[in-house]
Structure 1
Amino acid sequence: MGLNQQEVNILMVDDRPENLLALEAVLQQPHYRLVSATSGEEALKCVLKEEFAVILLDVQMPGMNGFETAKLIKARERSRHIPIIFITAIHQATEHVHHGYAVGANDYIFKPFHPDTLRLKVESFVKIHRDREILKQRTRELEEANKLLKRTSSELRRTEALARMIGETSRDTIVTYEEAGTILSVNSAVVEMFGYEPSALQGKPVSTLVEVAGLGIGKTVESTAVRLDGTSFPVDMQIGEASLEGQHIYVCSIRDITERKQIEAARTEQYHLLENLVVERTQDLFRSQERFRKIFQSSPSAIAIRSLLDCRYLDVNDYWVDVTGYSADDVRGATSDLLRLTPWGEEERLTPHQPEWQRSVRNARVSYETASGVVRQGLLSTEEIELHGEPCQLILITDITDRMMFEKEMARLERLNLIGEMGAGIAHEIRNPMTTVRGFLQMSRKNANPPSYENIELMVAELDRANAIITEFLTLAKNKTTNREATSLNNIVDAIFPLIQAEALMSDKDVKLELTDIPNLDLDEKEIRQVILNLALNGLEAMSSGGLLTIRTGRDEGDVVLEICDQGPGIPPEMLEKIGTPFVTTKETGTGLGLAVCYSVAARHGARIEVKTGETGTTFLVRFAL
């Protein structure tokens, strides 16, 4: 719809409804939209809301009259251009008309008005309004066109500058030529790429640089170019076409791809190397898998592979099948714990979902059950692996049932051997005093006189010696009860020190104490005194006159340590590994039970005895764990 056919708004203002009806009857047309207002205030509201082509305004209205309404309408920027036709019944006052024009009236109509006259005046103002709207629209279109022209000119200048900059900075040679093949221009990249100066190529055929005949427009084509010195090199070319003032212009972009060709050649060579490497790695993988399969199947341990996702058995080796009694087909795919693994000495079985079952384990002693219900012992080792992207667990069980039976038999035989050795030692040590007593008693039986006092004292001494041997032997008993309580080790050493010092003085030797602050320990004071006395006396007997015996206490790596150091000749290597064995001694008159008693007491206290020996002396260390 054109502007001349668009509907226009006409505002009619009169306080009398019959006058508004009369105006509406006169002005009724298809392209008019008549808006009525019965007061100046209502007219102002309408003007604020809508745009009007003309306003018919009654002068005489109660409240705000026509002059005041017109003055307010003209005072507003957006409505000051709207023409106002005053309608009045007052004819006589010329100053009244002047007042109307002064406040912005464009015309006057006096009542009673002629309909055609009113219609013509309104149509003239409507035409002026439409002309003004057309002028506004044309003005807006011109402004938009001007903005577009400025924007286009700016873009053109920017495009030209960008094209010039691209041509000057591009590493590609850009050649512009006519349809006949004559070069029009060339950028500065031609100097470095071809060796020509740009001015030297103008007017020459483009074939001087590269052959373009038969090449398609817009396609990138690989070709060969020729330098000024006659050498050739590979290039990528792309041709574009443009029309300028009816003349066809062609632009050819030439890119040197020598470096790319070299990279492609190196990449091809590298690809072949990698391909050969993949083949070698694949062969190595196959060989590795074959070695793993052979190791897996020929291992002397039972090996199984289970999925950590659903605890499903994936594979087992032949030894696993032999030792458990299950067939490989029954095992593969099973999710239950067929072996019923149980940690050694416990009753609760391991389940595949327990953390200690899933983490890596090394030689954990377990019991397992075969298909026939036989319980066997083994060493369990596990390791988490990945097969084809699935987390799995490698389970290895080394069966030690036969070895345990052999070890038990060896231990039994060793105990029997030890009992035999101890029996022989006891018999030897006790037979000597008993032989002495028996000899004197036989002499007394043949002789009518009673045995002399000296002989009786000798027999009693021999019997005491036999009793002492038996007493020391019984001290080795494992079931001996101890009375342990929190005691200071330093106090025990201080209490027994005078006795050790007296023994040392009798043999022209010396004893030194080096005691440090240590915590109390749960000790049986009598047994610890016996250990200290035995080790100290052994050290004194091992030294010659002038020797020094040192007794120390201290802490080392969380242990309380008792050290007894002598300056004797040391213990022979062949005797060192037999230290603590009953009736093994280097003394001429010793029984070998003293150190055995020390080891037995240390074991009952949860302690351990270490020996350091050399040519400058021997140190016994008793370590009490805190």
Structure 2
Amino acid sequence: MKNQTVNILLVDDREENLIALEAVLSAKNYNLIKAYSGEEALKYVLKEEFAVIIMDVQMPGINGFETAKMIRKRKKTQNVPIIFITALSQTVENILHGYSVGAIDYIIKPFDALILTYKVDGLVAMYLNKKKVEEQAKTIAKYTNELAEAYRALQINEEKLEALVKERTNELSLTNEKLLREINEKEAAMLKLEESEEKYRQLTEESPMAILVKKDHCDTYSFINQTGVQLFKANSKEDVLKQPIKKLIHPGDYERIEKLKEEREKGQFTLEARLVCMNGEVIDAEVKSIPLIYKGEQALHLMIRDITELKRSREFMQQSEKLTVVGELAAGIAHEIRNPLTSLKGFTQLLGDQMDCNHEYMDIMITEIERINTIVGELLLLAKPSKLEFKQINLGDILENIITLMNAQANLYGVKIKLESSQSLSDRYIFGIEDKIKQVFINLVKNAIESMEDGGEVIIQVMEGEKYFEIKFIDGGCGIPREILSKLGQPFFTTKDRGTGLGLMVCYSIIESHHGTMLIDSACGQGTTVSVSLPLFCTETVIY
């Protein structure tokens, strides 16, 4: 499905704008359809299915806002992502109006072609993932029906066999000829039973979902198909079947699952849970349960699907949308502050030159004005990446400097900072901006120290992959409740009494601008692990 051609609708009343959009997106596997008005766009929407709609706001006839409203009113197209691109409607009111009528993004011309390409690629990837999930759902429904039919046939044959055995037991006094006939009938019934069991086994083994069977009052699984072996990253079925079920379920979810099973009648339920693979990796999974009889005993037929990538994709899009909105607001505020700040600085310097006053006070005022200007510049970082100078940075030097800098604060809390690496970091380099990377690392170490009020140890682990360094910041603090873990990094959300809620958001923004990732894993009473991945330095590395 990766190479599937998808439709993208380009709507603009100016031919040159449509040609520019075609030039940006034509290199992809996209079918670009052009519409020169809102009316023409609505006609295409009725006939075709689109992954993304890119639309101008100011158009003769029906404008972009009205066209978006009409598209959203139609059930079939109400979830199609719409991106507004305009050079005229740049006011905050128009931007907010664009989001209110259903736009997923609002881009001002001239736009950055690379950013637009990344956004469209992300939306197309979500569209293809959705199509893939729908196809899988149809396949699962088909296999489920076939399994149900096989199961019903199995039960019918078992009942026939049981009735036949009882009937023949009461007729043991009949002649040898009649007894032989009865034996033949029993063998035929057994053959049908074996055929049904074989059909059930084949359907189970060939299922695209992981299939497991758990007998009642048993703490291990009784059956697993090959897809399940791959899901748990095991070498063989025996590796999974000999493991206690409790070890294959994340400790934070085990009690919840057991409680849910007790509440649901007959063991039939659907839920999401974290599973622990044989190599220790934790994955998110969707679990469906159906009761059945397995080898004469009550059991549960479990169907499991890995949804880790799907959840990460949703969280990434949500985080990107929030950062975009906050960034635009921050940029607007910073712009309005800088205008009067420039005048204030100029008049202060003028007064210092023309008046006989305390120059020490004037210097302090000018210094503080410069500090305000620096803070405003930090706010502008949230709006869009600056064209900063990326260069080769020694990872070992940065971490040593951070540990030296933070040791004083760590000592106050009774905390030790420990650096662990499988090899020397003296000649290991990343590509980025040293001050920004230090800003992220200091923030993470500071958070780790402050989480351990009774002292402890902060471990910084460094692992080198083929293309990325993974730096883990591990603390033994109180941990973070699962229900608020997904909120970390959101604008103005903080768990600290005096926090602003901007620290982690800026960290996410910096790491993203370095083409890296930052993931947080935590549970109450188990500490927190923050994993930062950054690309290795190489001569071909280029970051925009």
TM above 0.5:
no
* Bigger share in strand: 1
TM tier, smaller: 0.3 to 0.5
TM-score by length of 2: 0.35
* Bigger share in helix: 2
Determine which structure has greater relative contact order: mean sequence separation of CA pairs < 8 Å that are 6+ residues apart, divided by chain length: 2
Bigger-Rg structure (1/2): 1
